Amino acid sequence: MPLSKAAEFLLDECRMVLPGIQALFGFQLMAVFSPGFDSKLDGRGQELHLISIALVATAVAMIMAPAAYNRQTSLHKVTEEFIRISTRLLLMSMLPLALGISLDFYLIAGIIVGPGAGVLATGLLAVFVAFWFVLPRARALQRVARRAG
């Protein structure tokens, strides 16, 4: 595939993911100013929410980085380095995003179901890991095995 087409696909993927993450980030920020935030989450819960906000903000920064990188390093051309770095940033952003969502889910589940919140949040994190990391790698290994066999 030509580098320009690869860059187009990559940036489209970033553009597709970013609005959802930005909406999540906005809701995380609004929660702090909502009535009941202080009463529903103790100090530890509020600290965990802050960590979750930081994780999601990190994911936003990583997903937006390819555009900033391209604008500052190779405005009029696409390089293999740009594709490689941008792909890694996009893939790496999935980890803090999954952790941030799971952590906030843990806090919400704790309010709703109490002690079982940790199990539910761990299950949700496992779903993210399965779909975002295990499934793509398993499919890639299958393709390699098919070509070799």
Residue extents of the structural domains in the chain = 3-148
45-59 pLDDT tens trace: 999 999 999 999 999
Structure confidence by residue, pLDDT tens digits, 6-22? 888 888 888 888 888 98
The pLDDT assigned to 98 comes to 96
Model confidence at 72: pLDDT above 80: yes
pLDDT tens-place string over residues 91-123: 999 999 999 999 999 999 999 999 999 999 999
Residue of 32, 30, 35, 27 whose CA lies nearest to 48: 32
* Helix ranges, the chain (H): 3-32, 37-40, 43-73, 80-112, 117-129, 135-148
Q: What is the token pair recorded at 56? A: 């999601």
Do 10 and 86 contact (CB within 8 A), yes or no? yes
Higher-pLDDT residue of 4 and 39 is 39
Q: Is the pTM of this model over 0.85?
A: yes
Q: What is the spatial distance between Cα 133 and Cα 111, in angstroms, rounded to a whole number?
A: 29
Q: What is the mean pLDDT of residues 20-48?
A: 89
Residue 132: name the closest of 19, 27, 5, 17 by CA.
Answer: 17
